[in-house]
């Protein structure tokens, strides 16, 4: 891309009311006065649509068993040897540890690890849940806390989030409002939107440089 084209792209994206990185309505990103927000009728379906537009892969599972089968099959197809996951109730309910081990995949739980970053750095897949999923942007909201290592969602080349469908909210504003009135916020609160992308080197877009190049989200329910 020539320098003039690159600068024009920046001008376009920062022009009021013009920024539209996905299929989301323009108003979702740069709302204009007097323009009402488009109602999202089916937030889970819209979330999956936006995730796909970002290069992620999503699906909806009827129950935890179907979600578990998806994770195990994904690990098989990827030829994974090590999966690291959060130590949270949702992933205990998922019950994927046993089937993964039977498939020859070592499972490391973010609980008793000697060197968390070293394990996450070697892992082929990172598995977590998310506090919220945002329909209009295809984003996940991840909170820090006991058993929730940040590097699980950053270091492995493949990242999978299994999220109850009732945690899908329509907009970024709705997700932020979930924290209003709380006495305190998590030490770390991150919005993850699709696979990692970078254009630092010669303005060429590359995926998987600063985070996972492959992102899967399974909505349960």
Per-residue model confidence as pLDDT tens digits over 71-127: 999 999 999 999 999 999 999 999 999 999 999 999 999 987 778 889 999 999 999
Kindly report, residue by residue over 168-180, the tens digit of the pLDDT. 999 988 998 888 8
Give how far the C-alpha of residue 127 lies from the chain's centroid of Cα atoms, to the nearest Å: 10
Contact indicator for 194, 51 with CB cutoff of 8 Å: yes
Q: Where are any strands of DSSP class E within 49-167?
A: 57-61, 82-85, 106-109, 125-128, 132-134, 139-143, 158-164
Question: Taking Cα atoms as reference points, which of 24, 66, 26 lies closest to residue 46?
Answer: 24
| Domain locations in the chain as residue ranges | 40-220
Q: At the top level of CATH, which class does the domain 40-220 belong to?
A: alpha beta
């Amino acid at each position: 891309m020539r320098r003039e084209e690159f600068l024009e792209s920046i001008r376009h994206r920062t022009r009021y009311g013009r920024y539209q990185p996905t299929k989301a309505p323009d108003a979702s990103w740069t709302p204009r006065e007097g323009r009402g927000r488009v109602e999202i009728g089916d937030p889970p379906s819209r979330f999956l649509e936006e995730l796909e537009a970002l290069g992620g892969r999503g699906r909806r599972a009827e129950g935890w068993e179907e979600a578990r089968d998806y994770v195990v099959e994904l690990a098989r197809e990827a030829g994974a040897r090590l999966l690291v996951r959060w130590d949270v109730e949702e992933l205990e309910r998922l019950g994927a540890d046993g089937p993964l081990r039977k498939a020859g995949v070592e499972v490391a739980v973010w609980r008793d690890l000697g060197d968390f970053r070293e394990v996450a750095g070697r892992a082929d897949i990172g598995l977590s849940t998310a506090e919220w999923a945002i329909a209009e942007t295809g984003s996940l909201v991840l909170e820090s806390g006991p058993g929730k290592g940040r590097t699980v969602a950053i270091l492995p080349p493949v990242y999978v989030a299994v999220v109850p469908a009732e945690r899908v909210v329509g907009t970024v504003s709705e997700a932020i409002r979930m924290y209003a009135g709380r006495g305190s916020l998590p030490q770390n609160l991150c919005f993850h939107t699709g696979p990692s992308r970078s254009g630092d080197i010669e303005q060429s877009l590359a995926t998987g440089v600063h985070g996972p190049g492959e992102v899967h989200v399974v909505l349960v329910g």
